[in-house]
Amino acid sequence: PQSVPCAGGHHCCPRGSHCGADGESCVPDPGMGGPRVVPRAVPCPDGQSECPDDATCCVTASGAWGCCPMPQASCCADKVHCCPHATVCDLAHGRCLSPAGDSDVPLSMAFPAWKRQPPPPVTLRQVLCPDGRSACPDGTTCCQLSPSEYGCCPLQN
């Protein structure tokens, strides 16, 4: 009752949770005794750094990853500045130019990226029982208790 449907329509999550990014796990909502929802982040190509969801990873002069404070940004060759999506860096004039040359925007500075945190091991994967309504935690097995009721055996398969 009061379940939350996931994208694709094949899975749902119990009330007080929402669908995980993989579409197959349920994440407890904040304030429901579950973990705080971490804001989404953009992973950088080194696999160890990340930037906020609305930023872009750019290599900095030190060789470390930095974050340009806009989505799908252009990283400048000086490894210090960046420009909005679909514009090019004009370092000589300190501007960002659109391909048509009709708009120019000041260069933005990248800020340091942070190290990625490993994902918290709290994904509540569930096994859907044959009745399509009941579910058991991952690693358990649905067992029919009566014609209309399922229980969860604490063993897999």
pTM here is 0.47
**pLDDT tens, per residue, the chain with 157 residues:** 677 777 766 777 777 777 776 666 777 776 544 444 455 788 899 888 999 888 999 999 899 999 999 999 999 999 999 999 989 999 998 899 988 777 778 888 888 887 876 655 555 678 888 888 888 888 888 999 998 899 988 888 8
Residues 50 and 83 in one domain: yes
Cβ atoms 91, 77 nearer than 8 A: yes
Q: Which pLDDT does position 34 carry in this prediction?
A: 41
Please indicate, yes or no, whether residues 11 and 59 belong to a single structural domain of this protein: no
Residues 76 and 141 in one domain: no
Please tell me the predicted confidence (pLDDT) of residue 119.
55
Torsion 27-31-35-41 (CA) sign:
positive
Verify that 91 and 28 share a domain, yes or no.
no
Query: Are 53 and 100 members of one domain?
Result: yes
Closest by alpha carbon to 90, among 102, 76, 73? 76
Burial 56-70 (b: 16+ CB within 10 A, else e): bbbbbeeeebbbbee
| 86, 71 Cβ separation under 8 angstroms | no
Based on the fold, state whether residues 22 and 87 are members of the same structural domain.
Answer: no
Please check whether residues 124 and 100 belong to one and the same domain. no
One domain, residues 48 and 111: yes
Distances (CA, A) of 1 to 45, 134, 141, 146: 42, 10, 21, 20
Same domain, 111 and 124: no
Report the pLDDT value the prediction gives residue 113, as an integer from 0 to 100: 82
Which structural domain, as residue segments, surrounds residue 138? 120-156
Same domain, residue pair 70 and 125:
no
Strand partners, 144: 150
**Claim to verify: residue 111 and residue 47 sit in the same structural domain:** yes
Residue 132, pLDDT score: 86
CA 23 to chain centre: 12
Q: How many domains are there within the chain?
A: 3
130 and 104 belong to one structural domain? no
